[in-house]
Every structure is written in structure tokens, then in C-alpha cells.
Amino acid sequence: MHSRKGLAERHEGRPESFQDNQTTTEDRQRWRRTLAAIAISALAVGGMSALVASPAAADEATPPAAATAALQGAGEENAKKAADEAAAAAAAALQATEEENAKKAADEAAAAAAAALQATEAENAKKAADEAAAAAAAALQATEAENANKAAEEESSKKAEELDGPVELFLVPPDPNVEVDKVEICHSTGSHQNPYVINEPAADGDVSGHADHDGPIWFPGIEEEWGDIIPPFTYDGGSFPGLNWSAEGQAIFANDCKIPPPAPPAPPVLSLTSNACPVHGGTGTVTYSLASLQNATYRVTVLNSQGGTAHSQLVSGLTGTAGGSIALPPGNYTFQLAENDPFVVLAEQAFTIGACPAAPPAPAPVVPVKTLAATGTETAGPLMAGGMIMLLMGGAALIAANRRRWGTSRSE
């Protein structure tokens, strides 16, 4: 050890080439030791083989039992250890292989599941789209069929009205020329909520006693007992003239003995008369007349050609007729009659106020002429003075002319 240390110390400070040589020497020594170990192992193996091949020699050279047992134990232990290591390595390799296969299988399964899911979603989407398209087509077909049926019903109803007129209700009066055994009537009940019900008594002279129910036809607020409504009919042995068979009674009978709703009031009637502008720069007028007013509040409105309001007023508390006149400049207008609340136009009519006549021509200027009064001095005085002045001036001019003429005659 000291020699090696001294050798190492002596080697310090030497060139690198020497150290490289030293390293090469050490490597050679290690190779020699490895080869010697291999040779010894080979000899041992050969010796063992020779012992196995030569039982006699093996018997002669058998070591003591203790050594053999020890050798055998060591071999078994090494063999077991090698087997365990090999088994562990095999198990590890198997586990790694299984894990890799399992991962691969899992990846393949996941890919297959994703593909299946995608295919399922695509199939479901296509199925949903097909179902939606089928539902839309069915709805469209149903709508078209419904519209077609509705149109057919309306056309059929229209043709029926055109051919047959109003549809008859349930109760129909009997033909007076045909004998009947029973007759349908509207029997009074005494109840204001349900004044009549349908009865079908025997057709005879007193209609099984109903002919004595001869009160008036029911109306709201009636205080006396009202009577039955019986149509005229013919029976075996005579005829019955009817009871309360007026237009009002026939309307109740035709409505299955129910009081028909009141007829809607007639809409107001509008009539207009427009008057052109009579003088230049003036206005024309429109005169309106309203009929069938129902004691409601109405609004009268006049709109100009641009839609603006030219006139507006309320007409209320009137029943029957009303009217008035409105002054308007020339132009085109629309007259409206409407319910005020809610605002609903009931009648509308256009009219025109004619143009005013042209302006008259301007008169010629008039020069005033003064005349003498027959008797009076206030007007004659100034005129006479002016005349005298004119006369004097004329006389003076005449005298001057004569003087010039005389002067000329003398000089000659």
C-alpha cells in the first residue's frame, strides 16, 4: 500500500503521456484478472463435467459430506435466487407487456367508443332532422287541409245562402192549407228570465186551453201577465187564426221561443250640400244634415286636402236628426261623423267649396263738377267774382291791343 502510494506520489507532476500509459497498464491488469477468472471458471466447469462423466473417479475424489452439502446448498440457493430473479424479471416483463397491451386495448376501445358515439350522434341528428322535416311537412299538410276545408265550408255556405236564402230555424209554422193533429206554440211561463217555452198541444178550437192565454207579447218591464204565441193552423173540423201572431211574435216563434236580441240601431245618415264662395276674398259654406242619431255623443270633423283638421265639434244629447252649416275657404274637404268615445267613424263624405269670383275691375277716376245752385249765394259768389276778374283782364288786353294799333296809324 505504501509502495502504491509512493508510486502515485511519484507519478504526480509527471507528463500526461506517462499518466495515460499508467491508465493503460491498469486496464491491462483488469483484463488479465478477468481472463484468469474466466479460465478458472472454465476449468471448474470442466472438472465438474469430468466428475459427472466418471462416477468412479468422482467417488474417489468425493469431498467430505459436509463440503458437498455446503456446495449443494450454495448451488440451490443461487439457482433459487436466479430463478426468483428470472421469475421477477419475467413477471415484470409480463406486467409491462400486459400494461402496454391494456393501454393499447384501452386506447383502441376509447377510439372505438368515440367513433361509435360520433356515429350515434350523427345518426341521432339525422333522425331528429328527418323527424322535424316529417313533422313540418305534416303540419303544413294539416294547415293546407284545414284551409281547404275552411274555404270549402265558406264556399258551400255562400252557395247555400245564394240558393236557399236564410236558413230556417227549428220552429216552423204549419201550412194553413194542411190539417194537423198537433201544433207547436210558445207558451208563456211568467218568468222574465225565460218568458216562453215550446209546447205542442192538440190542434183544436181552443188549442187545449192555450187560446185563453191571450195577454200581450212579453217585453222588458211588462207588469201584466203576457200571453202565448200561437201560429195559425187548420185542424179537422175548422181552423185557428193564431194568437199574438204579429211580426214581433213571429220573430220570437222563429227563434225557438227565445227573445231575439235587439236589432242594432241604424247607423246615422249623413247628407251634405256645399256652396261656393259668393264674393272675391270670401268663404263658402257646407250644410250638413244628420239622421238616425241615437242619443250618443258624436264628433263632426272636417279635414282639408292635406288631412289637417279644418273644423271639429261635438254633437251630443240628440236623437233623430240634427244639422248645421260651416264656413270654409275654397278647397277640397272630407266630412266625418264618428262616435266620440271610442272614436269610430260612422259616415264619411268628400265635398268641394268652389273658388271665389275674380276681383272686379278698378273704377275710372271721377272728377267732381260743381254747379250753381238755383237759389243761393254761397256757391254763386265765388264763381261770379272769378268771372268778373276774367272779364276785366280780357278788357285790359283788348284796350292795349287797340292802343298799339292806334299808335301805328298815327306814325304813318
**Positive/negative CA dihedral, 264, 266, 267, 268:** negative
Q: Which of 182, 171, 186 is nearest to 235 (CA)?
A: 182
Residue 2 is predicted with a pLDDT of 45
Task: Yes or no: say if 245 and 227 are a contact pair by the CB < 8 Å rule.
Answer: no
Report whether pLDDT(180) > 70: yes
Does residue 48 or residue 239 have the better pLDDT?
A: 239
Report whether pLDDT(1) > 50: no
Residue 412 is predicted with a pLDDT of 52
Report whether pLDDT(23) > 60: no
Q: What mean pLDDT comes out for the span 270-277?
A: 91
Cα 269 from Cα 72, distance rounded (Å): 140
Instruction: Please give the C-alpha separations between residue 327 and each of 45, 121, 267, 343, 351, in angstroms, as whole numbers.
Output: 148, 80, 26, 25, 13
Report whether pLDDT(247) > 90: yes
Locate 62 and state its grid cell.
Answer: 468425493
Q: Is 135 left (phi over 0), alpha (psi -120 to 50) or beta?
A: alpha
Locate 42 and state its grid cell.
Answer: 472454465
How is the chain split into domains, by residue range?
185-254, 269-353
Cα 352 from Cα 304, distance rounded (Å): 10
Q: What share of the chain is helix, strand, coil (3-state, %, to 5)?
A: 50, 20, 30
Residue 86 is predicted with a pLDDT of 66
Residue 51 is predicted with a pLDDT of 52
Q: Which of 185, 193, 207, 191 is nearest to 253 (CA)?
A: 185
Task: Yes or no: say if 281 and 305 are a contact pair by the CB < 8 Å rule.
Answer: no
- pLDDT tens digits for range 196-205: 999 999 988 7
Specify the 3-state DSSP secondary structure of 339.
strand
List of residues 6+ apart from 339 with CB closer than 8 A = 296, 297, 298, 299, 346
The Cβ of residue 174 has, within 10 Å, a number of other Cβ atoms equal to 18
Residue 304 is predicted with a pLDDT of 94
Does residue 190 or residue 80 have the better pLDDT?
A: 190
Cα 281 from Cα 356, distance rounded (Å): 7
**Domain 269-353 - what CATH class?**
mainly beta
Cα 243 from Cα 201, distance rounded (Å): 14
